[in-house]
Structure 1
Amino acid sequence: MSIKILLVEDEIQLADSLAHVLHKEGYQVEVAYDGNQGWNLTMNHGFDLLILDWMLPHKTGLSICQSLRRFKNISATDDMPKTLADTPVLFLTAKDTLDDRVLGLDAGADDYLIKPFELRELLARVRALLRRSQKIEPPEEETSKKILVMDDLELDLESKLAYRHGRLLKLSEKELKLLEFFLLHSNQLVTQEQIYQYLWSEDQAPSSNVVAAVIRLLRRKIETKGEKALIHTIYGKGYWFGVQENLKRV
């Protein structure tokens, strides 16, 4: 299935560069350089994802998103597919205050990326939004190779980016490797020695309590207030990674 993305960005050089990268990833991309053109394309073509700059000539990205979401209350016609109002929206913007982020999300945006950003993070967020969309499901073979998932936590092995309920997790290299180990061995008991051998080579030889320290740091970042615990300590045996409901007597 060809995935169609609309990119609306008034910085021509940036827009063309991003479109080139998205094309290389296999997406079909349309580009608009102002808000009116972007809105017209949105209304006349079916897209699987909109990537909108916030500040655009003629019609802002915020206005486009707000207008799109209003169609949820309008009956579908041949000219207005009922899925149009649910098209995922990713904002690209230099606005980085909390009030701006809240405004964008309240307008109906699904995600928010602050300029400047790394291309690998943009691509990871595009993949995440498309996975969450009911219209697009990644091939099972590709998912098993590149994406590790536990409940609402995802690790993109290609970009080395992790998300919890859509929230980007800022993890160190060692924390990422530990999370990868846990996801590869989810729902099973693992020992401290197994973790130790996975994270460090023989010539590194850190102190014996370093595994517990890294686990403690990772737990703080992936288990914020209100989120399910995923890392469970099995005293005297090791650790178990998964949701509490699946934790069996070990």
Structure 2
Amino acid sequence: MPNRILLVEDDREISQLIESHLKQENYIVCTAFDGEEAGVLLQKEKFDLILLDLMLPKMNGMELLKRIRETSVVPILIISAKDSDIDKVMGLGFGADDYLNKPFSMVVLTARVQAAIRRVTQYIQADSNPDLQTIQFKDIILDLHLFSVQVRGEIIQLTSKEFQILKLFLSHQSKVFTKEQIYQLIWEDAYLGNENAINVHIRRLREKIEEDPSNPQYIRTVWGIGYKLGV
């Protein structure tokens, strides 16, 4: 069954171009031209991915992103002409999975969309071993089948990227990962010094699972190298 994408873009010419291309790639595409219209669609329908512009009328993209993340972990790919580091950090900090600057090629967009949907599909389908349902480390229980995480008995809502990062560490409990390795494994893309994306996701993950994020016990920094599980 084709994957469903919600495209939220107020420039109708750009929206039509993206919609036409993605439909040729066998995606079902629904369009919204402002934040409020997108919010209504999200209440009525389910989507496998959201393409979200930031500069939207009625409700801007950042506000819509925050509202979506209150109830959903659907992959969100920001597509925006705003290319400052602050905008990227804010978008990733509010829970976006990826950030693509305009103008971009349709080939790059399609690759990012495919990668985001593939990652989520892999984790929803859980592990290739059907008997492996959970991974546990100290007070963390990661359920591969329900795509959920418990920390100290409390259900914690993670974005898809945060879930993937945590699963990476829990699946390799003695391994130190460099930022380059994390980026290549989670983003499935070449690492070009994209430290902001990694730093923001690690910080947000720590805020959700650590009792004291400034003194992390689960995901620890290995100075000059990267990160490891706090074993």
Q: Under TM normalisation by the shorter chain, which class is it?
A: 0.5 to 0.7
Partner Cα separation in structure 1 for residue 66 and residue 12 of structure 2: 24
Q: Which residue of the other structure, out of 110, 114, 117, is the alignment partner of 1:127? A: 114
Inter-partner Cα distance in structure 2 for 1:3 and 1:92: 19
The CA distance in 1 between the partners of 2:77 and 2:20, in whole Å, is 18
- Match runs of 1:94-113 below 5 Å: 94-113=81-100
Identify unmatched segments of 5+ residues in structure 1: 72-84, 138-151, 153-161, 172-223, 229-250
> Residue 190 of structure 2: which of 169, 175, 179 is its match?
169
| 1:187-198 matched pairs, under 5 angstroms | none
Q: Distance in 1 between matches of 2:191 and 2:2?
A: 32
SS of structure 2 residue aligned to 1:31: strand
Q: Distance in 1 between matches of 2:38 and 2:102?
A: 20
Matches within 5 A, 1:174-213: none
In structure 2, the residue corresponding to 1:65 is in which secondary structure?
helix
Whole-Å separation in 2 of the counterparts to 1:64 and 1:226: 32
2:101 maps to which of 107, 114, 117: 114
Secondary structure of the residue aligned to 2:7 is strand
Residue identity in the other structure for 1:110: D
Tell me the alpha carbon deviations over residues 14-56 of structure 1, each in whole angstroms, 9 at most, x when there is no partner. Answer: 0001000000000000011111111111111011111000110
Closer/same/farther in 2, CA of residues 114 and 2 from structure 1, 3 Å limit: same
Q: Give me the whole-angstrom Cα distance separating, in 2, the residues matched to 1:225 and 1:51.
A: 33
* Rounded Cα–Cα distance in structure 2 between residues aligned with 1:58 and 1:50: 18
The TM-score normalised by the length of structure 1 is 0.52
* TM-score normalised by the chain length of structure 2: 0.56
In the alignment, what sits opposite 1:18?
Answer: 18
Contact kept? 2:115, 2:188, Cα under 8 Å: no
Cα offset for 1:163? 4.5
The code of the aligned residue for 1:8 comes to V
Residue 9 of structure 2 aligns to which amino acid in structure 1? E
State yes or no: 1:27 paired with 2:27: yes
Counterparts of 2:116 and 2:109, CA distance in 1: 11
d(CA) in 2 for partners of 1:165, 1:46: 24
CA RMSD, Structure 1 to Structure 2 (Å)? 2.7
| Change in 2 beyond 3 A, CA 1:167/1:130 | closer
**How many aligned residue pairs are there?**
142
Unpaired runs of 5+ residues, structure 2, are 126-167, 169-182, 193-223
CA–CA separation in structure 2 for the residues paired with 1:225 and 1:53: 34
Q: CA deviation at 1:167?
A: 6.4
Question: Cα 1:115–1:225, aligned 2, differ >3 Å: closer, same or farther?
Answer: farther
Superposed counterparts of 1:1-250, under 5 Å: 1-71=1-71, 85-134=72-121, 163-166=184-187, 168-169=189-190, 225-226=225-226
